[in-house]
Amino acid sequence: MAVLVSGTGSILEAMLAESVPVTLVLADRQCRALALAASSGIETELVDRGGFGGFGAGFDRWAFTRRVTDVLVAHGVDLVAMAGFGTVFARPVFEAFAGRILNTHPALLPAFPGWHAVEDALAAEVAVTGCTVHLATVETDAGPVLAQAEVPVLAGDTVQTLHERIKEVERRLYPATVKKMIDDLGVVGATDRALGATDRALGATDRAVGATDREVRR
Ligand code: GRF
């Protein structure tokens, strides 16, 4: 599986500590998470936004998305987990990995979608916020929810203190949810393989019956 990063990578670190089978870390910019992956001996790929128009109006989202998709496919990736990834993808990656891209978001979706979820929750003066692990779809922060956990907002919280307490929870919830998804996919894969073996066995039986038929006809 691949983990997609842009920042400090503390959630990536938690995944590695929990033995989530990460085979590739892909970043859209130079960041601590990429260095962390490299020093942990994991394969890394940098698809730098700078090569696709950077962060301004000229950013070519489709070309960037296609490049990332090609890299993920070339690495034989089955499952993708975004962990603090700072680029919104265009459609192609969601078609190539339908139902296989996960994201963690620092709010209780559908409340406070978007990049400023922690600021927005503080500004709204909610008593409780939290985090959401969900399937990523072409509509940002709107895919099916897989897991959520609440985090209380405390008096005197700043964006930094609240985000850090949310991330403490994400570091447990995300690895656990990813592992469960891998187990579920593993069951599907094993079932597919078993059905394939049954098909092959039936094919062999068909061929044997055909040979017997020909014998009988002779
Ligand atoms: C997390 O809060 C995640 O929900 C958000 O970015 C943060 C990533 O933190 N999208 P880190 O880079 O893993 O420390």
| Ligand 1 pocket member 106 (CB < 6 A) | yes
Rounded to an integer, what distance in angstroms lies between the CA atom of residue 47 and that of residue 5?
11
Rounded to an integer, what distance in angstroms lies between the CA atom of residue 13 and that of residue 19?
10
Q: Which stretches of 124-217 are DSSP H helices?
A: 159-217
187 CA to centre of ligand 1 in angstroms: 29
The residue with greater pLDDT, 110 or 192, is 110
Rounded to an integer, what distance in angstroms lies between the CA atom of residue 32 and that of residue 144?
30
* Cα four-point dihedral sign 93, 96, 99, 104: negative
Rounded to an integer, what distance in angstroms lies between the CA atom of residue 90 and that of residue 72?
15
| pLDDT score of 186 | 76
pTM of the full predicted structure? 0.85
Mutate to test the pocket of ligand 1, among 6, 11, 32, 89 (most ligand atoms within 8 A of CB): 11
| Ligand 1 pocket member 92 (CB < 6 A) | no
DSSP 141: T
Asked if 11 and 177 touch (Cβ cutoff 8 Å), the reply is no
pLDDT in tens, 102-156: 999 999 999 999 999 999 999 999 999 999 999 999 999 999 999 999 999 999 9
Domains of the chain, start order: 2-217 (3.40.50.170)
Is the model's pLDDT at 215 over the cut of 80? no
| Ligand 1 pocket member 84 (CB < 6 A) | yes
Is the model's pLDDT at 192 over the cut of 80? no
pLDDT band at 200 (very low <50, low <70, confident <90, very high): low
Asked if 125 and 152 touch (Cβ cutoff 8 Å), the reply is no
Phi then psi for residue 114, to 5 deg, are 95, 175
Q: Which atom of ligand 1 is nearest to the CA of 5?
A: 12
Tell me the pLDDT of the chain averaged across its residues.
90
